[in-house]
Amino acid sequence: MDVRPSKLFNVVSDVDRYSEFVPYVARSVVLSPDQIFPTDQRSKVSHSPVSSFKPLDSSLEGVTRFKKQFQATLDVGFTSTFTDKYTSLVTCRREQSGDNSVLEYSVHAQDLGDSSFFYGLGSLWTIRPHDGGSGSNVEFTCWYVPRSSSVLAKGVGVMIDGSYEMVARKQMEAFWSRCKEDR
């Protein structure tokens, strides 16, 4: 992708502004202030409730990690009938070498269990420099476990399963476009 990793990371981690450009997001609010935790390469155990991050190879000397964590609420809707509101714990990480070159950015969001339609809902962006830092290699993963306790929830699960790729593509395009707006 022809967007600088730092630019993409800044757009993805700016959850407060999602309602301005991400399809199906009607409202986005950061609930808790940023908490920044610098750590070094010797930190093998995360004290965060988010456990899906893998540390870089511990043999890398001089690697510094920075973590920012906050809670955010999104109001989403595909139609007037299918709307939901949920809160997520968002963890943003930046790992850089001793010469301050960034090795990897990541943004992980995991719902806190208050969604009407999902038992679990989350996403993980991993962004690495490419082409000397002027471009980005991006891995994006999202997951959800629909609730099956109501007909409406089952309908949402079927709707999302049927349109998952289209929705994901539209959202990814929105992030790319947002990155290119401010060049």
Q: What is the pLDDT of residue 81?
A: 74
Q: pLDDT confidence of 13, banded at 50, 70, 90?
A: very high
CA 145, 20, 29 angle in degrees (round to 5)?
60
Percent of the chain clearing pLDDT 90 (strictly above): 37
Could you tell me if 17 and 175 are in contact, meaning their C-beta atoms sit under 8 angstroms apart? no
Please say if the pLDDT value at position 1 is more than 80: no
Going from the C-alpha of 30 to that of each of 19, 34, 125, 135, 147, the distances in angstroms are 12, 9, 18, 28, 25
166, containing H or E segment: helix 151-181
Question: Whole-model pTM?
Answer: 0.78
The domain 5-36+63-181 belongs to what CATH superfamily?
START domain (3.30.530.20)
> Where are the domains positioned within the chain?
5-36+63-181
